[in-house]
Amino acid sequence: MLLFYNLSTRIYFASVRIAALFNSKAKKMIDGRKNWRKDLSLQIDSTAKYVWIHCASLGEFEQGRPLIEKIKEENPDNYKIILTFFSPSGYDVRKDYKFADIVCYLPFDTSGNAVEFVNIVKPVYAVFVKYEIWYHMLSVLHKNKIPVFLISGIFRAKQIFFKWYGKSYRKALTFFTEIFLQDAASAEILRNAGIIKTDVCGDTRTDRVISIANESYENALLNNFSAGKKCIVCGSTWPADEELIAEFINNCSDEYRFIIAPHEIHERHLKFLEGIIKSKSERLSEISKTNPDTRVIIVDSIGILSKIYRYGQLAYIGGGFGKGIHNVLEAAVYEIPVIFGPNYKKFREACDLVNKSTAFSINSSDELISIINDLYSNHEKILDIKNITNKYISASLGATQNIFNKIQLIA
């Protein structure tokens, strides 16, 4: 079965190399890993003790970030942090992250790369975030008796780990010293598969979104734009989301305002978005003063979405008509109703909020229009959503401290 894992990963890595010839993201993945041994060796301080944190991309980084900052807060002089990413979308945005001493790409997962990487870094312990499970990296850490943890893990019975052909992937789970899970259902799935080194601690993202919401942030332009209006913030949207949103924008009354932060902010996509919106829209980077005729502001930069949900009375989260929705908690932390497409059932917090009737899944523009109209016409319902969401978020706090305490005892 390990042969199947090696074959599938090598095919994937080869496809990335081919894609790099014409795809900029794939090219960054390849270029970022060139000469990784030499570059990493030059950055490593041989006298320091390193904690290695690995994230797939930006979303997983936001889950790992509270733990990184807790480690730095509690042990400012004891440990240095090496932060690795698999994807350019994480590395490009966080390569200058101030709480990490080294930020780099994770080498592709071959047995040779794993041995060399671990030998260079010599981590005191390692932390992988949510879904990042690389067999050879974990195996080498395990063989060297280096504690390795998975945090904010969540599992479903249909995942490859639990298939008859997923033996190698399942074995990789046994290399973890401890798996910290978001929910009890994941613990039960792992227990049925013979994985018992688990602990249900919750999702560190909750601590992160609370921290963001409590940060001082003021954007006078967005504040003036949204004040006194029915403002809807649409985050991490894709074309399928935007076509539904545009239909609502093009037919709704003038009392509505929209802040749209698309997932892709390259020029071609921004022009597509501007083209399907008939109302006056402006890009945030190009506005110096609020125009009273502007009904849509398009956020054409990365890194502020989690902060600007505060300007909405309602949020739409993108991705639900594709592989899956983006971060619901970033919006829910502001205690506002959340709407998204049908592909949300892989995400525990989205399911929880739908079950609590504070989040709403749609399949069409008619459903989107109906839900928005219903919410804005029912003030009592909005207040109920605020109270229910507040209790849900408050009950989910503390995962970071809990995980940190347990890692300190083990590592």
pLDDT at 337 over 80: yes
CATH of the domain at 296: 3.40.50.2000
pLDDT at 315 over 70: yes
Structural domain that includes position 51? 15-211+398-410
Q: For residue 22, is it within any domain? A: yes
Whether residues 235 and 134 share a domain: the answer is no
Whether residues 207 and 283 share a domain: the answer is no
Q: For residue 8, is it within any domain? A: no
- Would you call 79 helix, strand, or coil by DSSP? coil
Q: Quick one: pLDDT at residue 359?
A: 97
pLDDT at 59 over 90: no
Whether residues 197 and 288 share a domain: the answer is no
pTM, 2 dp: 0.85
Kindly state the percentage of the chain with pLDDT values over 90: 84
Whether residues 384 and 316 share a domain: the answer is yes
Q: Quick one: pLDDT at residue 77?
A: 82
Whether residues 33 and 155 share a domain: the answer is yes
pLDDT in tens, 7-53: 888 899 999 999 999 998 999 999 999 999 999 999 999 999 999 99
Q: For residue 321, is it within any domain? A: yes
Indicate the average pLDDT of the chain: 94
Residues 109, 138 contacting (CB under 8 angstroms):
no
Q: Quick one: pLDDT at residue 1?
A: 67
Whether residues 118 and 256 share a domain: the answer is no
Whether residues 164 and 50 share a domain: the answer is yes
Sort strands 198-200 and 230-237 into parallel, antiparallel or unpaired. unpaired
Residue 143: name the closest of 102, 175, 168, 101 by CA: 175
- Would you call 215 helix, strand, or coil by DSSP? coil
Residues 335, 385 contacting (CB under 8 angstroms):
yes
**Confidence class of residue 103 from pLDDT cuts 50, 70 and 90?**
very high
pLDDT in tens, 198-233: 999 999 999 999 988 988 888 999 999 999 999 999
**Confidence class of residue 272 from pLDDT cuts 50, 70 and 90?**
very high
Rounded alpha-carbon distances, angstroms, from residue 338 to 28, 185, 258, 314, 325: 34, 24, 14, 6, 11
pLDDT at 164 over 80: yes
**Confidence class of residue 193 from pLDDT cuts 50, 70 and 90?**
very high
Whether residues 249 and 203 share a domain: the answer is no
Q: For residue 274, is it within any domain? A: yes
CA separation for the pair 358, 292 (Å, rounded): 32
pLDDT at 113 over 80: yes
Q: For residue 5, is it within any domain? A: no
Whether residues 92 and 174 share a domain: the answer is yes
Long-range contacts of 187-193 (CB under 8 A, 24+ apart): 189/155, 189/156, 189/157, 189/162, 190/155, 193/161, 193/162
Whether residues 172 and 121 share a domain: the answer is yes
Q: For residue 7, is it within any domain? A: no
Whether residues 274 and 177 share a domain: the answer is no
Residue 296: name the closest of 265, 254, 328, 268 by CA: 254
Q: For residue 2, is it within any domain? A: no
Domain count, the chain: 2
Q: How is 248-282 classified by DSSP, letter by letter? A: HHHHS-TTEEEEEEES--SHHHHHHHHHH--S-EE
